[in-house]
Structure 1
Amino acid sequence: MTSAEMEARIVRYGDLQPCKTAFIDAHTPGSNQKENFTIIGGGVSESPDQHVHISIPHGFNIGAAGQPPKCRNSLHSHRTAEVFFVLKGRWRFFWGRWGNAGEVVLEEGDIFNIPTGIFRGFENIGTDYGMIMAILGGDDAGGGVIWAPQVIEDARDHGLILSSKGKLYDSKKGQALPEGEKPMPLLTEDELKAFPEPTTADVVPHYVARYLDLMALADRQSARVIGENGKLRDKPGFEVDFITNRSASEASQSHDHPAVLMPVKGHWKVVWEGGSATLAPGDTMSVPENLPYTLTPSMTGEAALYRSVGTADPAGATWAPAA
């Protein structure tokens, strides 16, 4: 594969194209400054304005959210896995029907495999613009987002209506639901009872991994974060490894499924027959299946990288208490 062909599978941080109208809370005060990025796969955006950088199926989606301080993402749920790691800033994640069942604060490099089937939201509590990267299970990411009822009601008060087909219409732009199309129904009280309310103590020990802990685990070999024998619970349809400057190997490697490389710290050099590329934090690279490559830091100093590869596992199990 030539360098030009591979460059088409690299999304540079500086080339990311944001969408500010991706979801139903795009006009809601406190959430109206969000930027959403769909990097690999179609994602779960509800807006036709969302730009997809790489549409090649991987068995999972890669996205990102960029938010200024005090900006939050409203309470929602997914039918498949949702894994976040903090690229930049300081973030508070919260969950439950009203967002008060539990919470955790993540720093740069920390990763959170949010349990499937619970309402969750997040906000930038840092002092500068922050960015979190996301891995969503499945090629279709579970068919969209399930919003807490109050989010849909708040959005309606600010001019946005979500159709039952998951498409947004903005009355501020003169848009209305097409004739015969109904708005997204609110979840009933009985339906809401099916969404668990795990506490912080239920979730954090089993679903959160800290950057410094992973650096220690990956001192001599890459650390399996999610997947078979992973540090975090669940086998969500993809596995995630954490690689550092100390555990990186110059040995050639390849995978049965496409691999996605996402640097957190430092610069990384990827070499394959036909070319090479250097990745920086915020860059995303898709390595084709069965293509041998080497992955090493391109300079001295601290370096860390998350790698995600699809598996044959189901795309995430509903949350359940630890055994």
Structure 2
Amino acid sequence: MTTFDTEKRIVRYGDLRPCRTAFIDAHTPGSNQKENFTIIGGGVSESPDQYVHIRETPGFNIGAAGQPPKCRNSLHSHRTAEVFFVLKGRWRFFWGRWGNAGEVVLEEGDIFNIPTGIFRGFENIGTDYGMIMAILGGDDAGGGVIWAPQVIEDAKDHGLVLGGNGKLYDTKKGQSLPEGVAPMPLLSAEELKQFPEPRTAEVVPHHVARYWDMMALSDRQPCKVIGEHGKLRDRPGFEVEFLSRNSLADTMYSIDRHEILMPMRGHWRLRWDGGSTTLNPGDTAAIPPGLSHSLAPSMTGEASLYRVVNTDDAAGTTWRG
């Protein structure tokens, strides 16, 4: 019988441990107040200060970004999928070499499957501290972050240097590149041509799903959000479903895949042979393959939850327009 250890398998929102030195723009004005969270897997942090809650990966990584109003994350790209849903606040996502090719504003509960291989950034445009939850494709999250050249140059002016080994060095703390390690080279003009600049009208219809649409579609069964047959058709190495109050019967079930549960609204009762617990908004539960369990809202009122399951697909593909 598969067992379930809540201490090792559930990360509570209130226990999340932030890192403020995770990336190269940690000192850059406008980005220096952001907090990075690595929940499952090593993520893409460039800092040894980053705390990892659950190291075992199910074929993808789970993380989060927390930012006060007007704080932004600098333009970067990934080699694999990067999916965000808004847990708290109001966020503007923008993309392109200079961040002006297109943009979209997401409200709480909305989800964005960002096209792989484009420069992207995001900003909290709300009035309070905001939090977005992230799903990153691949066990190693695609081998790190690719920064727009101006981000690396700006960071150097504020004391942070990124080595070719993918690690950060803070000259304000007296650190310097180790012998034999060169600075991360800037992308050349020819390399920059490989990063597409899709317009908003090309991206939003195929990559953004709105919370209240998914609530309506999940009234009698889970709403398939990302996957071969999802609302956002993609095969990034995982599938995402959206569940609301009537999506599942309160009966025991098991699957042969890793299942990650991420409540958005309400309180959810998770039961398994030998125990039960309540999952709250912002919590992350990693259900192992083969565990017999059930899931249902534990109180009346609005209830919604994202469920992520690993697949055998490749971890991500590039934007094809």
TM-score (norm 2): 0.98
Aligned partner of residue 76 in structure 1, secondary structure: strand
Mapped to 1, the partners of 2:310 and 2:3 lie a distance apart of: 24
- Which residue type is aligned with residue 218 of structure 2? A
Q: Equivalences for 1:10-49 in 2 at 5 Å?
A: 10-49=10-49
Give the unaligned 5+ runs of structure 2.
none
- Which residue type is aligned with residue 311 of structure 2? T
Q: Equivalences for 1:2-13 in 2 at 5 Å?
A: 5-13=5-13
Instruction: Provide Cα deviations, 1:101-151, integer angstroms capped at 9, x if missing partner.
Output: 000000000000000000000000000000000000000001000000000
Contact 1:234 1:317 in 2 (8 A): no
Mapped to 1, the partners of 2:115 and 2:255 lie a distance apart of: 27
- More divergent stretch after superposition (204-213 vs 252-261): 252-261
Aligned partner of residue 206 in structure 1, secondary structure: helix
Contact 2:82 2:137 in 1 (8 A): yes
Give the superposition deviation at 1:255: 2.1
Tell me what 1:260 maps to. 260
Contact 2:222 2:242 in 1 (8 A): yes
Asked whether 1:167 is paired with 2:171, we answer no
- Which residue type is aligned with residue 86 of structure 1? V
Give the superposition deviation at 1:242: 0.3
TM-score (norm 1): 0.98
Contact 1:2 1:275 in 2 (8 A): no
Tell me what 1:230 maps to. 230
Mapped to 2, the partners of 1:308 and 1:33 lie a distance apart of: 29
Mapped to 2, the partners of 1:279 and 1:24 lie a distance apart of: 34
Tell me what 2:134 maps to. 134
Tell me what 2:291 maps to. 291
Mapped to 1, the partners of 2:56 and 2:6 lie a distance apart of: 13
Mapped to 1, the partners of 2:25 and 2:105 lie a distance apart of: 22
Give the superposition deviation at 1:253: 2.1
- More divergent stretch after superposition (245-254 vs 118-127): 245-254
- More divergent stretch after superposition (245-254 vs 270-279): 245-254
Tell me what 2:60 maps to. 60
- Which residue type is aligned with residue 153 of structure 1? E
Tell me what 1:198 maps to. 198
Instruction: Provide Cα deviations, 1:240-288, integer angstroms capped at 9, x if missing partner.
Output: 0000012132122222221110000000011111111101001000001
Tell me what 2:278 maps to. 278
Mapped to 1, the partners of 2:243 and 2:178 lie a distance apart of: 49
Mapped to 1, the partners of 2:315 and 2:119 lie a distance apart of: 17
- Which residue type is aligned with residue 244 of structure 1? S
Contact 2:3 2:291 in 1 (8 A): no
Mapped to 2, the partners of 1:2 and 1:135 lie a distance apart of: 25
Instruction: Provide Cα deviations, 1:182-228, integer angstroms capped at 9, x if missing partner.
Output: 00000000000000000000000000000000001101110110112
Contact 2:44 2:141 in 1 (8 A): yes
Contact 1:21 1:47 in 2 (8 A): yes
- Which residue type is aligned with residue 240 of structure 2? V
Give the superposition deviation at 1:2: 5.7
- Which residue type is aligned with residue 218 of structure 1? S
Aligned partner of residue 8 in structure 1, secondary structure: helix
Mapped to 1, the partners of 2:156 and 2:105 lie a distance apart of: 30
Give the superposition deviation at 1:6: 2.5
- More divergent stretch after superposition (6-15 vs 304-313): 6-15
Mapped to 1, the partners of 2:95 and 2:18 lie a distance apart of: 25
- Which residue type is aligned with residue 6 of structure 1? T
Tell me what 1:121 maps to. 121
Mapped to 1, the partners of 2:3 and 2:113 lie a distance apart of: 35
Tell me what 2:181 maps to. 181
Q: Equivalences for 1:79-158 in 2 at 5 Å?
A: 79-158=79-158
Aligned partner of residue 151 in structure 1, secondary structure: helix
- Which residue type is aligned with residue 269 of structure 2? K
Give the superposition deviation at 1:314: 0.7
Give the superposition deviation at 1:174: 0.7
- State, as a whole percentage, how many aligned pairs show the same letter: 76
Q: Which 4+ stretches in 1 moved above 3 angstroms?
A: none
